Chains A and B, each alone.
Chain A
Amino acid sequence: MSVKDRPKLGRGLNDVSRFFLTPAARCGQEPREGTVPLARPASICVCHPASPLIQSAFTANLALETARNRRKAVVWDCSDQENARLTALMGSLLETGPGQGGASGRVGLYGLPEIVIHDGRAGWGFQGAETDDGVRMDEGDGREPLVIVNACPTIEFFLAAPDADEHVVITGTGEKDLLQSYAFIRVIDARSPRCRVSLIFDHAEDEVRQQRIIQRFSAFVLARTGRSVRHLGSLVHDEALERSIAEGRPLVLQQGPSEARSSFAGICALLIEGCEHAHEGAGS
């Protein structure tokens, strides 16, 4: 499609940037040949049983990294803690306020697919990941939108929630933290036997201890459920993280280089990459 074919070109910076700078399919363009709409988009559910705030901070950064990877992110914010709502943690980036356009917020990044945030306190689903005509949104280069669920970190939520393709459990490395996370994984396993489960340590100590803990934890989960748990690393806490939470300015986009930013970005990248590979595997 050439520039002159673009209807209503020049409606705004987001439109223009999206049109010129991304290899994505344009609005109104037919899906690429061979693109088969799938039953539902890929989904990741993020949970930190002990810290809704760190959980939401991670989800916000995951959504931004998803956009950076040129995938639309549809985020369901199920957190019931006001200061841990994504609209608070991404406040400086929101284009629309609560209640506008059916979503509780949208983030448009220059030249990248948007992030749509829905209020999921009454439940979440896969709606919102389609185009206006109901066809699953395809960004043109085969990258499907990603549904990200910022869970309400309670057992009750997981007993009632729909299946997600991947569950990410963030945990401290104390015995009780690990036990709590194990309990969540047991519920996830019972509810979604085919999903993948990844574990992220929150502010863990040295590498050697991390390895020792993940080996013991994984071995126990494997013995009890037959499921393997993927370890993605440890989130670092520093002043940049605290500032990002206090100011509603996410680490990976609006904070300078720091250990925390590197850890968040690295783990998000691993997660998104793993999700893509798993989806390719599922499709083949």
Chain B
Amino acid sequence: MMRLLKPVSVADTARLVRMCAQWLKDELGLEIVEYRIGNAFTGSIDILAVDRGRVYLVTVNTGRLSDAILESLTGYRWFCENSEFLHRVYRSGSIDLLQKPVLVLLSPEYPPEIHSVLRLGLAVEFRLFKYLVLGSEDEPDLYVEEAHGHEAATAPAAFDPAEIRRELGIEKAGLGDEEIVEFLAAVRGH
């Protein structure tokens, strides 16, 4: 007999967030630092996690994707404004919240080319995961997979030397585009 598994919605978002956190811990090896940190006025993060050298600011989308992206970016701003304080509070042997943050979004679905849109529009790194809740509301099962951007190979790189010069206030230093490219390649060890 064939059974069709239909997605179920979990009304208890706190429970869903904890299930996602468990997946991030088990499958990606992240260390969970805190849940639901921040506030609704200035920004919040559903899951704050770390691994070696990176900080992950995780948002779990339980509504509209546009709201979740806005929540993620607002949470990112809140984190940047409070990172030193958070670092002092949560610092331990394995937790260093002053590392470069990565925004992680878990959502049931994404529009096409979301990766190239985010890459072109934002300076901060995003990782997108699709999730699906099956089973029943009382006993939900979570399935998660990373949403890889298949369009990434053909998307133009978001690298604009003139913009970097403006951002860093070094327009008058006389660095050419080629020199900037070579410098960045050198410090990356290429």
Contacts and interface: CB of A to CB of B under 8 A. Distances in A.
A184 B173 contact: yes
Is the contact region of chain B dominated by helix, strand, or loop, or is it mixed? helix
Given A182-B183, A186-B175, A175 B170 contact: no
Contacts of B96: 205
Given A176-B168, A180-B168, A186-B175, A216 B189 contact: yes
A183 interface: yes
B88 A179 contact: no
Given A203-B98, A213-B187, A156 B88 contact: no
B172 A159 contact: yes
A178 interface: yes
Contacts of A110: none
Contact size class for A?
20 to 34
Q: Provide the main secondary structure of the chain A interface.
A: helix
B138 interface: no
A175 B184 contact: yes
B189 A183 contact: no
Interface string B155-190: 000000000100111111111000110111011110
A43 B113 CA distance: 55
A190 B175 CA distance: 12
A92 interface: no
A186 B167 CA distance: 18
A10 to B, nearest CB: 49
B173 A187 contact: yes
Interface in A216-261: 216-217, 219-220, 224, 237, 239, 242
B100 interface: yes
B189 to A, nearest CB: 6
Nearest to B100: A174
7 contacts: A155-B169, A175-B187, A179-B183, A180-B168, A182-B175, A183-B170, A183-B175
- From A155, A179, A190, name the one whose CB has the most chain B CB atoms within 10 angstroms: A179
